[in-house]
A and B are shown apart, each in its own frame.
Chain A
Amino acid sequence: NAGVMQNPRHLVRRRGQEARLRCSPMKGHSHVYWYRQLPEEGLKFMVYLQKENIIDESGMPKERFSAEFPKEGPSILRIQQVVRGDSAAYFCASSEQGVSEAFFGQGTRLTVV
């Protein structure tokens, strides 16, 4: 079991470009969570998804950010028209059930230049 896989590990984008972050959950896990860690700040919840469904997106910025978890393939966090303030580490976690042990990926460190 390879654990939660995130790619890329590092991503550099110019202002205005799009960023796509991928997360493959652990085998057998159908619950995926995205969290953001701004520089020198704690982790903050963004979105919770199950296969093909967004369960809770209360932490997602209203514009430019979207997430999906298709029937086949990884979960994708998409940030359109990135700005400098989007620079952060984005972590994905997965769990077997809703409130159960969560396993985290290595994160994607996004730098907007």
Chain B
Amino acid sequence: KNEVEQSPQNLTAQEGEFITINCSYSVGISALHWLQQHPGGGIVSLFMLSSGKKKHGRLIATINIQEKHSSLHITASHPRDSAVYICAVWDTDKLIFGTGTRLQVFP
């Protein structure tokens, strides 16, 4: 069993739909990252959070430390949101990554 589990692994959506990606982890953490990676591209940090909720534009991230669970929401999805979204948790001095959720948004 992976220490960081994401669901779903693959997700397709129509433009405008509300999207949720989930992350559950078993390692003890102090903070969690949501990352975005385009095919063949670099990795962009979307959020780092250790409690509560953060919002940036159409992206919202929440975390429940007690339940060891985080969610990434995308409102009014757009084809340019198509990418792999990766949850990563800090475990002592290193990030442990989920295997990613591949999102495709169709016009």
Contact = CB atoms under 8 A, between A and B. Distances in A.
Answer yes or no: do A and B interact.
yes
B9 to A, nearest CB: 11
Contacts of B43: 43, 91, 93, 104, 107
A45 B96 contact: yes
Interface residues of A, number: 25
Interface in A22-76: 33, 35, 41-45, 48, 55-56, 58-59
Contacts of A102: 33, 45, 48, 95
| Interface size classification for chain B | 20 to 34
B42 A45 contact: no
A98 B30 CA distance: 11
A90 B38 CA distance: 15
A35 B90 CA distance: 14
B93 interface: yes
B45 A106 contact: no
B48 A42 contact: no
